[in-house]
Amino acid sequence: MNNDNDTNSNETPIFKKQIGNTVYIVTPYFSKTSKETMSDKIIRLIKKDLESNK
Q: How far is CA 51 from CA 15, 21, 24, 44, in A?
A: 30, 36, 30, 11
Read off the pTM: 0.45
Torsion, Cα 28 45 40 12, to 10 degrees, reads 0
Q: What pLDDT digit, counting tens, does each position of 2-46 carry?
A: 556 555 556 778 999 999 999 999 998 888 898 999 899 999 999
The residues spanned by each domain of the chain are 2-52
